[in-house]
Chains A and B, each alone.
Chain A
Amino acid sequence: MTHPHSKNLLSSVQMASFVATGAFRMDAVVPAEMNREAIDVLKAGIPGVPYGTPLSEAFVDSEFVQRLVQLPEVAGAIHSFVGPEPTVDHHAVHIRKANQGEAQNLHGDAIIDVRPDAFDVQLMYYPQEVTLEMGGTLSVPGSHLRKTNESDTGRYQNLLGQTRFTCPAGTVVFLHHGIWHGGRRNDSDIDRYMFKIRFNPTVRQVRLWNIEDLYDEQVAAELGQLFPWYENATGRLEIYNRVKLWQAITGDDTFDPDYWVTRVTNRPQRVVAQRTVNPHAKKELT
């Protein structure tokens, strides 16, 4: 695949928003004619791909998916998150049938994944308009750095400030691998379709986006967001962990606008209080 034009890469502010929220949405980015085609393509099924297949080889049997991931904005986002030539972990067509009576438990995909300096992303493509009644995916902004395993979070039904996803047709969302999410109950008369692809990086994820605005004030503002469901104390730890991730993906370990990391890692080694000036130090007997 060719390198995306820089205008299609994410900005630093957008990347910082992703690091804070664990999600990035591109409304109606897929053209209407592709969306019209999509339902039949998804109904027919997308051929399976062995785990770890390079993206350029993964969809040789699915011209539709090739076109999807090569849309300039989509390709730019993929590159910004995971770099050139990622591998396809897996893909799946998710269908929530009309009036389907059950929601999924809140969960993180795969298994607990606590990599501090790398992440996978999941592309989710919604070919139809998704309304609240259609049970769009539930996700929890800023949950992606929580160290929990799969559906152990199933007890949590609702969190303040959660996203009950609705969107226009042709929307693509990228989610960090750790985000808490679940398919909501479809209370409408319309079957809901979603196609997802999980990408694994094959390069170090450092400054893969457009870094012209790396030190824009809005970067720090994005990274400093607190979400309504955060507990008072743990919310501060969220900022700490977010700053650590931003330091990892920018390669700049001095970035710490609110001093959360610097303060608790400050362990000076220079000793100025000499034992010889300590009046309580025993004198050696001669």
Chain B
Amino acid sequence: MTTASAEQTVAGQTVRQQVLVLYLASSALDSRTVGWSTYDGTGATSPTTGDSDVPPYASGLDALKDGWRLFQAAQLLPPQPGHEYDVSFLKHEFFFERLVQV
């Protein structure tokens, strides 16, 4: 079976999505970065676990200033009754994208 390529073009140029995920210290987009992940749809780089100690941006706002487009922010959900003191996943997750010409 073959799968058709999902060709993306913008103004006649072939583009691919790069995704940046920032974890911030609070729900405010301009709060400091505490974690980060990147995924490169161009295939030019292969970011992976534990490959850097320095965040690419100090805050979510700094990523916007550099041209990244926010497309998802974590919802603010109240804790489940009885689990108010539990710690689990990082709460303040922001997904950004940019389209890169290939």
Contact = CB atoms under 8 A, between A and B. Distances in A.
B36 A158 contact: yes
Contacts of B23: 156, 159, 229, 231
Interface residues of A, number: 37
Contacts of B55: 158, 160
Interface in B21-38: 21, 23-26, 31, 33-38
A157 B47 CA distance: 8
B74 to A, nearest CB: 11
Contact of A229 (B21, B34, B52): B34
B26 A232 contact: yes
B87 A238 contact: yes
Nearest to A149: B88
B49 A105 contact: yes
A231 B33 contact: no
B87 A158 contact: no
B49 A106 contact: yes
B51 interface: yes
B53 interface: yes
Contact of B34 (A146, A147, A153, A159): A159
Interface string A177-188: 000001011000
A234 interface: yes
Contacts of B92: 231
A207 interface: no
Interface string A151-168: 011111111101010000
A156 B87 contact: no
A238 B34 CA distance: 15
Interface string B46-58: 0111111101000
A159 B35 contact: yes
B79 to A, nearest CB: 10
Given A159-B34, A233-B26, A103 B88 contact: no
Given A156-B23, A231-B26, A162 B50 contact: yes
B36 A232 contact: no
A73 to B, nearest CB: 28
B91 interface: yes
A241 B35 contact: no
Contacts of B52: 158
Contacts of A156: 23, 35, 37, 49, 90
A135 B47 CA distance: 14
Interface in B49-102: 49-53, 55, 85-92
Contacts of B86: 147, 237
Given A229-B34, A232-B25, A232-B26, A164 B90 contact: no
21 contacts: A106-B49, A147-B87, A155-B37, A156-B23, A156-B37, A156-B90, A157-B49, A158-B36, A158-B37, A158-B55, A160-B33, A164-B50, A184-B49, A184-B50, A184-B51, A229-B34, A231-B91, A232-B31, A233-B91, A237-B87, A238-B87
Interface of A: 102-106, 135, 138, 145-148, 152-160, 162, 164, 182, 184-185, 228-234, 237-238, 240-241, 264
Given A185-B49, A229-B34, A241-B85, 12 more contacts: A146-B89, A160-B33, A160-B35, A162-B50, A164-B50, A182-B49, A182-B50, A231-B25, A231-B92, A233-B26, A233-B91, A234-B91
